[in-house]
Copies of this chain bind each other. A is one copy, B any other.
């Protein structure tokens, strides 16, 4: 385990501000350390009492027989700061500062106090979790240094799930659901203001606990992605699934986050792309964070998405098929010999097609379920099973059906889920190890998450070059300069992109030569590193038919540019490029996540109609193709109404090239190619217009 071991598995713990009352902040951890079996030494510190909750109390840190590995600071405000300084001086390895009233209430004075604490800690090699933290809970070692009330409700929590969050409520609310569902939790940590140890860094330490089989995160803001990248690398190594609930998806949510923690707003689509890139599943809400947990703990290695559904209700069959369709899981097509075997068993009025409707026949044949399931188990096309028994009662051999379902799970090693509206029925299945859900929709949704997440993890693992640790971020206040269009096109050509045939002309004679070389009609565009929007100023003329018109355009554009007080870099004479559709490729550097590449439908309305997909470099053609498939215009690529397919291979190569450019050239801040014209398969793509921004210093250095 890393240097954060003292937080997770300390040999000794001091509680500064200890209380005899187990319901006070300084009392509850002492109670929990006893309740959950912490094996090390516990030192309550409270000068006014000789004994705290039956343990010997000490007057001060100095009185302790040893420097404790971990100290809880449960004293308030300014005292907390000096206490942290005392801890650093005493040789404490780690402190958990529960006191609030720091950066979260006052971004100036409060932050300054946090900095005093971190300065003292850093000097002494001590680490801080907090301030303003509800605390940490490792049920593996019994290290419950938390004042959450939740753990009063449960006697044991040990299991394989870890939950981490800055927020106290959002560390315990998901755990509250999990414990109520009977799913054991090993870690439940709230890190508070993250003045030193961040939730991401702590998660790295937790991910190294071999007993952790599923790691859950709540994130309100990602001010620095590096620890999450490191976490993802550790998780990939261990095949450990991570699910993150990142809030602040909406403007209203970001505003709320900012007002209560001063959180930096991340660009939400980039967060999506970042998490996906690293194989981390993004949950939409608390339920999504915990709902599928059980499936991750079964040891299943999903083989695909093809679903077999069995129910005693035809309506549930229909609803299951609808739900599966909604999430992109096809109903398995049963093998002919399986179908025949089913038809031999099922009475005439049951449906042998998948989903399999057993009708009320189950009521008259107790063994029907037990006969059907082994047949289905043998089907090679089945990847997972959902058993829907919405309402059962007297007349059904429920224990027998549950036993048959458990046998199916054992026999196949494949996911078997069950849906029942009746908790008493569901319990009989749960007791036999079946994952139970109230309805088939919830079962299918959870199953889809599990399978799709496993697919995402496999992709992230296959992506050998996925580390973005070195991919340059954009400094927050980076000064930038725009290249003129000729320089932009030259840079792109240098990186292997096909750009429209063109010449930069600085005189009418150069224009004449260019027209002769390129052939009419041509496009004439004014070129200036000071002007981004050419069309609006009359600096783009299409379909220029001859040399004279081109020279006239040169003169007119020079006048316009000079009238703007802008540099006149010449005019570009370019071929009239043809294409089937206008697409766009863009790239920029996110201050947190580094380079981001965008590809999508192009043209004038790209920002309004936004049909684009994001990719984080480095990535390959396969990932671009997947991104292209996610676009609304995707069906057009294959060609519709008799049209030939478009050259998505060339498009993918161009997008990959932009990804490489963003990695290779740290000084390129943004790239905006619109339109990129795509042609028939084999005929390539061509960049027609380009705007590149570079870091100001770099350009000067050129």
Kindly state whether residue A301 has any CB partner on chain B within 8 Å: no
Shortest C-beta distance, A179 to chain B (Å), equals 10
* Assembled-state Cα–Cα distance A149/B641 (Å): 55
- Max chain B CB contacts within 10 Å: which of A173, A326, A392? A173
* Assembled-state Cα–Cα distance A257/B319 (Å): 9
* Assembled-state Cα–Cα distance A390/B324 (Å): 31
Interface flags, A351-363, vs B, CB<8A=1, else 0: 1010101011000
Q: Report chain B residues within 8 Å CB of A210.
A: none
Kindly state whether residue A169 has any CB partner on chain B within 8 Å: yes
B-binding residues in A (CB < 8 A): 23, 100-101, 104-105, 148-150, 152-153, 165, 167-170, 172-173, 176-177, 180, 218, 220, 247-253, 255-257, 259-261, 284-287, 311-326, 330-331, 348-349, 351, 353, 355, 357, 359-360, 390-395, 421-423, 438-439, 441-442, 536, 604-605, 608-609, 632-633, 635-636, 640-642
Q: Report chain B residues within 8 Å CB of A249.
A: 322, 325-326
* Assembled-state Cα–Cα distance A609/B285 (Å): 30
Task: Report which of B105, B284, B323, B605 forms a contact with A636, defined as CB distance below 8 A.
Answer: B605
A252 with B319, Cβ < 8 A, contacts A149-B393, A167-B314, A441-B287 known: no
Contact B322 A252 (CB under 8 A): yes
**CB-based nearest B residue for A148:** B391
* Assembled-state Cα–Cα distance A690/B153 (Å): 70
Q: Report chain B residues within 8 Å CB of A251.
A: 325
* Assembled-state Cα–Cα distance A101/B361 (Å): 11
Contact B441 A318 (CB under 8 A): no
Task: Report which of B261, B286, B322 forms a contact with A314, defined as CB distance below 8 A.
Answer: B261
Task: Report which of B153, B260, B421, B605 forms a contact with A393, defined as CB distance below 8 A.
Answer: B153
> How many monomers of this chain does the complex have?
2
Contact A152 B394 (CB under 8 A): yes
- Max chain B CB contacts within 10 Å: which of A312, A319, A323? A319
Q: Report chain B residues within 8 Å CB of A23.
A: 394-395
Contact A392 B149 (CB under 8 A): yes
A152 with B256, Cβ < 8 A, contacts A251-B325, A286-B439 known: no
Q: Report chain B residues within 8 Å CB of A348.
A: 105
Contact A287 B439 (CB under 8 A): yes
Q: Report chain B residues within 8 Å CB of A604.
A: 641
Shortest C-beta distance, A317 to chain B (Å), equals 5
Contact A325 B150 (CB under 8 A): no
**CB-based nearest B residue for A348:** B105
Contact A313 B169 (CB under 8 A): yes
Contact B421 A247 (CB under 8 A): no
* Assembled-state Cα–Cα distance A357/B132 (Å): 15
Q: Report chain B residues within 8 Å CB of A640.
A: 605, 608
**CB-based nearest B residue for A601:** B609
Task: Report which of B101, B247, B351 forms a contact with A260, defined as CB distance below 8 A.
Answer: B351
* Assembled-state Cα–Cα distance A259/B351 (Å): 7
Contact A360 B100 (CB under 8 A): yes
Contact B105 A252 (CB under 8 A): no
Can you identify 22 A-B contacts, CB atoms within 8 angstroms?
A100-B360, A104-B349, A105-B349, A149-B394, A149-B395, A168-B313, A169-B313, A170-B315, A170-B316, A176-B421, A218-B315, A220-B318, A247-B322, A256-B318, A256-B353, A256-B355, A259-B353, A285-B322, A285-B439, A286-B421, A605-B640, A608-B635
* Assembled-state Cα–Cα distance A442/B422 (Å): 20
A324 with B252, Cβ < 8 A, contacts A100-B349, A170-B315 known: yes
Contact A248 B318 (CB under 8 A): yes
Q: Report chain B residues within 8 Å CB of A173.
A: 313, 316, 390-391, 421, 439
Contact B315 A165 (CB under 8 A): yes
Task: Report which of B253, B323, B421 forms a contact with A177, defined as CB distance below 8 A.
Answer: B421
Q: Report chain B residues within 8 Å CB of A636.
A: 605, 608-609
- A-B pairs, top 9 by smallest CB distance, nearest first, are A149-B393, A250-B325, A169-B313, A260-B314, A167-B315, A253-B322, A105-B349, A173-B390, A252-B321
**CB-based nearest B residue for A638:** B608
Contact B315 A169 (CB under 8 A): yes
Q: Report chain B residues within 8 Å CB of A172.
A: 390-391
- Max chain B CB contacts within 10 Å: which of A260, A355, A392? A260
Contact B250 A319 (CB under 8 A): no
* Assembled-state Cα–Cα distance A325/B251 (Å): 8
A149 with B391, Cβ < 8 A, contacts A315-B220, A317-B256 known: yes
Contact B315 A247 (CB under 8 A): yes
Q: Report chain B residues within 8 Å CB of A316.
A: 169-170, 173
Shortest C-beta distance, A82 to chain B (Å), equals 21
Q: Report chain B residues within 8 Å CB of A360.
A: 100
